[in-house]
């Protein structure tokens, strides 16, 4: 069946039920309401003036409302009390006149009694003086057994305004009153109803019951006028107070906003920005103090920038100047190192130590030059589409001998498909070598796990070790230059203390992240997150920073003969190939580099051949 859409509502089927249309409308209203609430919350958080004006409006409105209620209540009660007192006096007079006329009848069966009752009702219905509003209404009910019927003003159903309780009280000889709103004529009217018993002329039996209804229209209108006047006056007062508060708040907030904007410009590097000083009040003092602070900050920043520039230039110059004598010393040291077997054991050992320290010194110079390039802003990124899995394999292969010396097995968990990303392969490999070398240094001989994963936006590589771990707060300090978790610990990999700092700068240069997790005695995990396309920024990582096995039992360390008791997954790790390359894991049929591939340690592994000094991983130890 084909669905036909309405031209007036694209995408909505013509045959949609009213319930579905109602749900769509309700969802649209809900989205608009949510957007409005979000905008209001944003404005409330951002605007101090809005909060002050709103607080003033609410407070003033509450005070004015309470005052208006008190004034209207007092005015209404006072007017009603006056009306009740006047009506009570009038009812007493009316009762006296009615009794004078009704006492002339000495027998309840007197046929003229009803005529007298009509005359009394007519006379009492006339107002005693000038009064606005409806006329008074009178109801006169004869005693039970009298030869007469109840008489009311104009034949109106006045008995509707008499409640049962009021009738009972009057029948028992009591004077009672009530206020009732009832429609007896054209419109509903509020009456003050007074009920008065009148003794009969024959001296026995129940009394006549006289009910006088006095309209309270004038009093209600007066109270309404007072209420409206108070409300209008109060509303005008609240609005005026809010406007004054807004103006005063604007006078105070405006310099603060100008100070905030000036501070933002200063933070952006515009150190010549200053506030305009007007007058001699507190706000002018604030502007002068802010300008003085900005001047001092500019002076200090310029001085520190000059000192930093001189320091960077000194470091770069010294590093370059040391290249020439280092090359000469290197040539002599290489000659001694190659001929060490012809010397005595003491001299041969000295040649080996000299070679080792020269390697480390050369690495330090290389990393100092790299740090200088980062500090000067001259570091460039040579991005090209590469398979990150190949970079991981290459870094693991180059550090396999190093891990073998430390008795550490390497495991790789790589996806089956290539992970293509636009990165600088030289810098990414340097990051991985630093991370793996750092993990081998502090891994306590337990296996290392290198994991690669990706999503639509980014790729992530984690290096997990099960060594000493990091204490709380050290996951940020570990990237500082020359920082060491344990200064008393002797380096085994010859690191310079700059490897992780350079790795962090390399990650930032790609627009990515480099962060760390660690727990004492549970190992650590470093995560590198890079965008798949050059120039983009990373917003999320495909791999979590906290490993899944953070609370799992630690894997076993290597045995004295160089083998590994068990990997992180509990499987037996295979031995490495004779040349130190990656050997296949115990997974069935898994080629090198597939998920679970492992590099196991071996006894007497050869030294890693010297690579390009700029790619060395020996600066990885923090």
Q: Measuring CA to CA, how many Å separate 462 from each of 184, 450, 532, 534? A: 90, 6, 16, 20
Q: What is the mean pLDDT of residues 448-454?
A: 94
Number of H helices, E strands in the chain: 13, 15
For position 600, what pLDDT does the model report? 45
pLDDT in tens, 273-289: 888 888 777 778 888 88
Assessment of whether the complete model's pTM goes beyond 0.75? no
**Cα(531)–Cα(534) distance, rounded to whole angstroms?**
7
Helices assigned H by DSSP within 322-344: 323-338
Q: What are the residues facing 386 on neighbouring strands?
A: 421
pLDDT band at residue 464 using 50, 70 and 90 as cut-offs: very high
Q: Please determine, for residue 604, whether its predicted confidence score (pLDDT) is greater than 70.
A: no
| Residue 151 pLDDT > 50 | yes
Alpha-carbon distance of 388 to 459, in angstroms, equals 9
Q: Is the dihedral of CA 242, 244, 245, 246 positive or negative?
A: positive
Task: Collapse the DSSP code of 460 into the 3-class scheme (helix H, G, I; strand E, B; otherwise coil) and give the result.
Answer: strand
Question: Among candidates 382, 493, 37, 57, which has minimal Cα distance to 234?
Answer: 57
3-state secondary structure (DSSP) of residue 554: coil
Q: Is the dihedral of CA 315, 320, 321, 325 positive or negative?
A: positive
> Quick one: pLDDT at residue 493?
53
Q: Per residue in 471-490, pLDDT tens? A: 888 888 888 877 776 655 55
pLDDT of residue 364: 72
Residues 523-582 have pLDDT tens digits of: 999 999 999 998 888 889 999 999 998 888 888 776 544 444 444 343 333 333 333 333
Average the pLDDT over 63-72 and give the result. 86
Q: Single out the residue of 501, 502, 515 nearest to residue 461, CA to CA.
A: 515
Bridge pairing between strands 513-519 and 523-531? antiparallel
Buried b (16+ CB within 10 A) or exposed e, 444-472: bbbbbbbbbbbeebbbbbbbbbbbbbbee
- Residue 280 is predicted with a pLDDT of 78
Provide the mean pLDDT of the chain.
78
Helix (H, G, I), strand (E, B) or coil at 356: helix
pLDDT value for 546 = 92
Q: How does residue 302 score in pLDDT terms, banded at 50, 70 and 90?
A: confident
DSSP reduced 3-state for 464? strand
pLDDT tens by residue, 418-439: 999 999 998 899 899 889 988 8
Question: What is the sign of the dihedral through the CA atoms of 420, 423, 425 and 429?
Answer: negative
The angle, 0 to 180 degrees and rounded to 10, between the axes of the packed helices 323-338 and 345-376 is 150
Instruction: Mark out the alpha helices in 418-575 (DSSP H runs).
Output: 425-442, 474-477, 499-509
Beginning with the edge strand found earlier in the chain, give each strand of the sheet holding 448-454 in spatial order: 513-519, 523-531, 458-465, 448-454, 410-413, 597-599
Please report which confidence band the pLDDT of residue 459 belongs to, taking 50, 70 and 90 as the band edges: very high
Domains of the chain in start order, with CATH, are 102-219 (3.30.450), 383-615 (3.30.565.10)
Residue 452's pLDDT band (cuts 50, 70, 90)? very high
Which token pair is 5? Answer: 């859409």
Give the model's confidence band at 128: pLDDT under 50 very low, under 70 low, under 90 confident, else very high.
low
3-state secondary structure 20-83: HHHHHHHHHHHHHHHHHHHHHHHHHHHCHHHHHHHHHHHHHHHHHHHHHHHHHHHHHHHHHHHH
Q: How far apart are CA 195 and CA 189, in angstroms?
A: 18
Report helix, strand and coil shares of the chain as percent, to nearest 5: 50, 15, 35
Q: pLDDT per residue over 21-67, tens digit each?
A: 888 888 888 888 888 888 888 878 877 778 888 888 888 888 888 88
Check: CB of residue 106 under 8 Å from CB of residue 116.
no
Percent of the chain scored above 70 by pLDDT?
Answer: 81
**What is the pLDDT, as a whole number, of residue 532?**
92
The DSSP symbol for 161 reads G
Region 332-349: mean pLDDT is 86
- Token digits for 391? 């970079």
367/373 Cα distance (integer angstroms): 10
Per-residue pLDDT at 359: 78
Place of tokens 């000469």: 328
Half-sphere exposure of 476 (CA within 13 A, CB side): 2
* Separation CA 8–CA 29 (nearest Å): 19
Q: What is the 3-state secondary structure (H, E, C) of 173-233?
A: CCCEEEEEEEECCCCEEEEEEEEEEECCCCCCCCCEEEEEEEECHHHHHHHHHHHHHHHHH
Backbone angles phi, psi at 484, to 5 degrees: -130, 135
Question: What is the structure's pLDDT at 496?
Answer: 61
CA distance 472 to 181: 77
Lowest mean pLDDT among 93-107, 219-233, 449-463, 494-508: 494-508
């Amino acid at each position: 069946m084909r669905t036909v859409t309405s031209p007036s509502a694209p995408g909505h089927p013509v045959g949609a039920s009213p319930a579905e249309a109602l749900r769509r409308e309700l969802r649209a209203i809900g989205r608009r309401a949510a957007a409005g609430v979000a905008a209001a919350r944003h404005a409330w958080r951002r605007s101090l003036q809005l909060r002050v004006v709103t607080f003033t409006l609410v407070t003033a409105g509450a005070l004015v409302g309470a005052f208006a209620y008190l004034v209207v209540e007092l005015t209404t009660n006072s007017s009603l009390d006056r009306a009740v007192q006047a009506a009570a006096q009038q009812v007493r007079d009316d009762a006296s006149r009615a009794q004078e006329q009704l006492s002339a009848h000495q027998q309840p069966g007197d046929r003229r009694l009803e005529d007298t009752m009509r005359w009394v009702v007519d006379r009492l219905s006339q107002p005693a003086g000038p009064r606005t509003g409806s006329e008074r209404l009178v109801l006169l009910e004869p005693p039970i057994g009298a030869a007469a019927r109840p008489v009311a003003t104009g034949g109106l159903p006045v008995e509707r305004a008499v409640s049962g309780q009021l009738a009972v009280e009057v029948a028992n000889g009591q004077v009672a009153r009530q206020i009732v709103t009832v429609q007896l004529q054209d419109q509903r009217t509020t009456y003050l109803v007074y009920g008065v018993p009148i003794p009969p002329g024959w001296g026995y039996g129940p009394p006549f019951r006289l009910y006088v209804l006095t309209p309270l229209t004038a009093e209600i209108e007066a109270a309404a006028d007072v209420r409206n006047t108070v409300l209008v006056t109060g509303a005008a007062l609240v609005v005026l107070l809010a406007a004054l508060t807004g103006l005063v708040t604007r006078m105070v907030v405006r310099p603060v906003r100008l100070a905030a904007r000036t501070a933002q410009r200063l933070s952006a590097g515009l150190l010549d920005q200053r506030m305009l000083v007007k007058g001699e009040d507190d706000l002018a003092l604030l502007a002068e103090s802010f300008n003085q602070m900005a001047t001092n900050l500019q002076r200090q920043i310029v001085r520190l920038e000059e000192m930093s520039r001189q320091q960077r230039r000194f470091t770069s110059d010294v590093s370059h100047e040391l290249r020439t004598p280092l090359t000469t010393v290197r040539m002599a040291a290489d000659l001694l190192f190659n001929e060490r077997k012809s010397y005595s054991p003491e001299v041969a050992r000295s040649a080996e130590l000299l070679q080792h320290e020269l390697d480390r010194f050369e690495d330090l110079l290389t990393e100092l030059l790299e740090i200088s390039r980062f500090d000067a802003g001259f570091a460039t990124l040579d991005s090209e589409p590469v398979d990150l899995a190949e970079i991981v394999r290459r870094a693991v292969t180059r550090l396999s001998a190093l891990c073998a010396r430390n008795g550490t097995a390497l495991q790789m968990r790589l996806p089956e498909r290539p992970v293509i990303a636009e990165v600088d392969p030289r810098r990414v490999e340097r990051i991985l070598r630093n991370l793996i070398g750092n993990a081998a240094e502090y891994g306590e001989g337990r296996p290392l796990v290198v994991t690669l994963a990706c999503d639509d936006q980014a790729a992530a590589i984690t290096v997990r070790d099960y060594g000493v771990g990091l204490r709380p707060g050290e996951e940020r300090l570990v990237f500082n230059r020359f920082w060491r978790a344990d200064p008393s610990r002797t380096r085994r990999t010859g690191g310079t203390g700059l490897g992780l700092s350079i790795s962090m700068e390399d990650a930032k240069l790609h627009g990515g992240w480099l962060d760390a997790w660690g727990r004492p005695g549970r190992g650590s995990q470093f995560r590198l997150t890079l965008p798949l396309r050059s120039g983009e920024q990373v917003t999320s990582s495909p791999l979590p920073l906290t490993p899944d096995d953070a609370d799992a039992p630690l894997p076993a360390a290597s045995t004295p003969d160089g083998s590994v008791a068990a990997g992180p997954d509990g499987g037996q790790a295979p031995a490495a190939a004779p040349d130190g390359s990656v050997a296949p894991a115990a997974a069935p049929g898994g080629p090198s580099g597939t998920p679970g591939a492992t590099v196991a340690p071996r006894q007497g592994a050869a030294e890693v051949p010297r690579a390009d000094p700029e790619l060395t991983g020996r600066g990885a130890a923090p």
